[in-house]
Structure 1
Amino acid sequence: MSYADRVFIDMCRDIIDNGTSTEGEKVRPVWEDGTSAYTVKKFGVVNRYDLSKEFPALTLRRTAIKSCTDEMLWIWQQKSNNIHDLHSHVWDSWADENGSIGKAYGYQLGVKHQYKEGMMDQVDRVIYDLKNNPYSRRIMTNMYVHQDLHEMALYPCAYSMTFNVTKDKDSDKLTLNAVLNQRSSDVLTANNWNVCQYAVLVHMLAQVCDMKAGELVHMIADAHIYDRHIPMVEELINREPLPAPKFWLNPEIKDFYQFTRDDVALIDYETHEQIKNIPVAV
C-alpha cells in the first residue's frame, strides 16, 4: 500500500479520536452560510516521507499533481501574487478585484535581499547555496514577514522551508532533504496537496543541483479537521489503500525556471473516487 495513505489514515484517526475541539470558542473561519467553522485538532504533528523510496501521493482519493505543481511554481518560480497567473481557482476566494492576494506567498519569495554575494531573492539564494555551499545549515526560506501581514489576503500557511544536504555512503551524489513548516493544515482539503507540491519542489531542486531527492519532513503546528468534514474523512480513511504511483520528472530540465506543470507526472496512479462538494471555510 502507499506509505502516504498509511500516514494520512493514522493522522486522521489520531485527530478524530484524540484531538481537541474548538466548538464554542472564538474562531476566525466561517462557512459560506456565515456560521463559525469549528475544528478538531492536534498540535505538533510531524510526518516524514522518504522521497527516494516513494512519491507521497494519496491513493485514497486523487491528488491533482499538475494543479498542485502549478500552484507551487506560481509561488516559487513565478513568485506571483496574482491569481491570473494561476491555472486553478483555489485562490479565488482570497483575491481582490484585480486578482491580487497582496504581499503574500510568491511576493515574499520575489523580494530581493542584500547578501555578501550580491542581491538575490530567497529562491535564488537557496539554489546558489545548494550549488556552492551545500553543507550550509542556513539554507532556508520564510514567507511569514510580520511587517507585511496587514497587506496579505491570507497569512501564509506553509510558510518556511529548511533545506539540508547529506551524503549516503558509497554514493556519488549528494542528497537533498527538506523540512516544511506549516502553521495550519486543513487536513481534508489541503494536507496531501501541500505534501505533493513540496515533494515536487524537492525533486526539482535536487535535479537542477545535481543531487538526489531524500527526505521531506512535514511539521504542522495545528493539524485540524473541520466539523463538517469529519464524515467525509471517516469515509476516506476506511477505504483500502492502493500501491503508490511512480513519479516522473522531465530529466532534460536543468534550470529551475524552465520547469512547467507538464514536466511532472504520476505513472500507474490508481486511486479511489474523489470526495466531492467539500465545503471550504474562509
Structure 2
Amino acid sequence: MSRADQIFCDMCTDIIEHGTTTEGELVRPRWEDGTPAYTIKKFGAVARYDLREEFPALTLRRTALKSAMDEVLWIYQRKSNNIHDLKSHIWDAWADETGSIGKAYGYQIGQMSHYPQGDMDQMDKVLYDLEHTPFSRRIITSTYTFADLSEMNLYPCAYSCTYNVTQGEPGGPLVLNLVLNQRSQDILAANNWNVCQYAILLMMVAQSVGMVPGELLHVIADAHIYDRHVPIVKELITREQFPAPHVSLNPEVTNFYDFTTDDLIVEGYKTGPQVKGIPIAV
C-alpha cells in the first residue's frame, strides 16, 4: 500500500487523538459565513518520503498531480505572483483586482542578488550551486522575507527549501534530497498537495543537474485539522488503500526551465472517490 497513505492516516489520527484545540482563542481564519475557523493542532509534524522507493501520492483520494506541478512551476520556474499565470483557482481568494497576491512566493524566488559568480535569483542560484558545488550546505530558497510581509496577501506557508546532496551507489549519480519547511498546514486541504508538489520539484531539479531524487523531508510547525474538517478526515482515513502510482518525468528534458505539466507521466494511479465541497477557511 502507499506509504503516503500510512503517513497521512497516522498524522491525522495523532492530531485528532492527541492534538490541542484553538477553540475560543483569537484566530485569523474565517469560514465563508464569517465565523472563526478553529483547529485541532499538533506542533512539529515531521514526515520522510523516499522517492527512490515510491512517489508519495495519496490513494485514499486523488491528488491532482498536474495541477500541483503547475503551481510549483508558477512559483519556482515562472516566478510569478499573479493568478493569471496559474491554471488552477486555488489562489483566487487572496488575489487583488489585478490578479496579484502581493510580494509573495514567486515574486520572492525571482528576486536578484549579487554573488561573486554574478547576479542570480534564488532558483538560478540553487541550480548553479548544485552544478558547481553540490556538497555545499548552503543551497536554500526562502520566501519568508520580513521586509515584504506587509505587502503579501498571505504570509508564505511552505516557506523554505534546503537542498542536500548525498553519495549514491559507487560510481553512480549523486542523490539530491530536499527539506521542506512549513510554518502552517491545513492537513485535509493541503497536506498531500504540498508533498506531491515538492516531490515533483525535487524530481525536476535532480533531473536538471544529473542527480537522482532521494528523500523529501517535510517539517510542519503547526499541523492542523479545521473543526469542520474533522468528520471528513475521520471518514477518509478509514478508506481502502492502494499501491502508490508510478510517477516520472519526460527523460528528454534536462533544463529546469523547459519542464511543462505535459512532461509529468502518471501511471497506475488507483484511488478512492474524490472528496468534494471541502470548506476552505480564508
- CA root-mean-square deviation: 0.6
| Aligned equivalent of 2:15 | 15
Q: Secondary structure at the match of 1:46?
A: strand
Alpha-carbon distance between aligned partners in 1 of 2:86 and 2:163, rounded to the nearest angstrom: 26
1:142 is the counterpart of 2:142: yes
| Aligned equivalent of 2:193 | 193
| Aligned equivalent of 2:63 | 63
Question: Percent identity between the aligned chains?
Answer: 65
Unaligned 5+ runs, structure 2:
none
Q: Secondary structure at the match of 1:184?
A: strand
Higher mean displacement: 161-170 or 190-199: 161-170
Q: Match for 1:84: what amino acid?
A: H
| Aligned equivalent of 1:118 | 118
Q: Match for 2:27: what amino acid?
A: V
Question: Any runs of at least 4 consecutive aligned residues in structure 1 with deviations exceeding 4 A, and if so which?
Answer: none
CA apart distance, 1:116: 1.1
Q: Match for 2:6: what amino acid?
A: R
Q: Match for 2:128: what amino acid?
A: Y
1:210 is the counterpart of 2:210: yes
Alpha-carbon distance between aligned partners in 2 of 1:70 and 1:4, rounded to the nearest angstrom: 21
Alpha-carbon distance between aligned partners in 2 of 1:199 and 1:248, rounded to the nearest angstrom: 11
Alpha-carbon distance between aligned partners in 2 of 1:168 and 1:30, rounded to the nearest angstrom: 47
Deviations 1:185-238 (A, max 9, x none): 100000000000000000000001000000000000000000000000001000
Aligned pairs (5 A) from 1:163-202: 163-202=163-202
Deviations 1:161-200 (A, max 9, x none): 0000001242410000010000001000000000000000
8 Å Cα contact 1:77-1:256 kept in structure 2: yes
CA apart distance, 1:240: 1.4
Count of matched residue pairs? 282
| Aligned equivalent of 1:78 | 78
CA apart distance, 1:125: 0.2
Alpha-carbon distance between aligned partners in 1 of 2:247 and 2:217, rounded to the nearest angstrom: 18
Alpha-carbon distance between aligned partners in 2 of 1:276 and 1:14, rounded to the nearest angstrom: 24
8 Å Cα contact 1:65-1:265 kept in structure 2: no
Unaligned 5+ runs, structure 1:
none
Q: Match for 2:221: what amino acid?
A: A
| Aligned equivalent of 1:161 | 161
Alpha-carbon distance between aligned partners in 1 of 2:124 and 2:258, rounded to the nearest angstrom: 14
Q: Secondary structure at the match of 2:242?
A: coil
TM-score, structure 2 as length reference? 0.99
Deviations 1:53-89 (A, max 9, x none): 1000000000000000000000000000000000000
CA distance change for structure 1 residues 166 and 68 in 2, over 3 Å: closer, same or farther?
Answer: same
| Aligned equivalent of 2:257 | 257
CA apart distance, 1:266: 1.7
